[in-house]
Amino acid sequence: MSRARMQHPPKAFWLAVALLAASAALGVLGISVGSTGLDSVAGLRRDAQALLIVFEIRLPRTLGAWLAGALLGLAGAVAQGLFRNPLADPYLLGSASGASLGVAGAMALFGISPLATHWLARIGLTGAAFVGAVLAVLLTLLLAKGVQHTLRLLLAGVIVGVVLGALTSLLLLLTPEIMQAMQSFMLGSTALVGWVPCAIMAAVFAVMMAAAWMMSHALDGLALGEFTAQSLGLPLAWMRAGLVAVLALATGTAVAQTGLIAFVGLAAPHLVRSVVKTTHGWLIGLASLMGAVLLTAADILARGLMAPQELPVGVLTAVLGGGYLLWLMHRQGRQGGGR
């Protein structure tokens, strides 16, 4: 049996290989798409400006989109496994609303625009988004009185998201001068991702992936039911806390660097499950790769569809991801009706 397994790797392995190959192909395509098209790539050897465009703008942007998508895919797989809900997404615990409120508050207080190129402005807004996302999750945990009850945690996350979203809207009404600047954050963009944000996302992704993989057996146990997981002797209390921390940090890091990008974290685990049924140890890694491929492809489309103008990548992911989920629900409904 071991020899057969060595000769015929599992389907999940081949999916991982395909996603890595797609990532490499999209990486090559990503450095070729932009307002100057292939001219920048062709002129690398003789043109310093072309070298700057490719290695300081296109390459970190493409890598940043891949890393942000991987973080969102990881967070989506953890959220859906933790809450045992296929509609759970990385923003379920209020992190998106918290990040939006943090950025809006920073711009209202200091007048910082997310379009500013000054490094202090970028660090200030990035920090505000990350802190807002993490504080929103902590507030959710406080209202839910810990992580012992999954349903209470879910309801607390919904309430925190609604309340913080309302506060953000109120702040925008009181300071309309920041409304246009907030749109780039709320619609999502990878345009300003540089090498430092890439390094931050890569470090966080490596740590969060390792932590989630080590706790993946808790998600497998929860998939069998709460009582079954407890009967298996799993320390659910601290594992839930660890998984919530992974969810919060992965989501907060991605949102802080790219803004609010919808449906990637929700759709990535669904796409993986539509291809292969596997344990959460594989699912977490595959969902990360799928999220990375989805966001990188969407970012390339956003740059290329209306070049030299760009579409907000969050709008594109919402349209494509929402369309896919509607089609999936329609297909499942027809299959259920046929039975």
17 in any annotated domain: yes
Q: What is the mean pLDDT of the chain?
A: 82
Residue 332 lies in a domain: no
pLDDT of residue 166: 94
Is residue 118 in a domain? yes
pTM (2 d.p.): 0.86
Average pLDDT over residues 298-305: 87
Domain span including residue 43: 7-324
Q: What is the pLDDT of residue 230?
A: 67
Which pLDDT value is given to residue 7?
Answer: 39
pLDDT tens per residue across span 136-145: 999 999 998 8
Give the pLDDT score at 207.
Answer: 96
pLDDT exceeds 60 at position 115: no
Mean pLDDT over 69-85 rounds to 92
In a domain, 335, yes or no: no
Domain for residue 249, yes or no?
A: yes
> Per-residue pLDDT averaged across 113-142, rounded?
73
What is the count of structural domains for the chain?
Answer: 1
Q: Give Cα separations from 255 to 1, 24, 95, 97 (angstroms).
A: 45, 24, 9, 11
Residue at 149 is within a domain: yes
CATH number at residue 252: 1.10.3470.10
**Least-confidence region, from 65-79, 114-128, 243-257:** 114-128
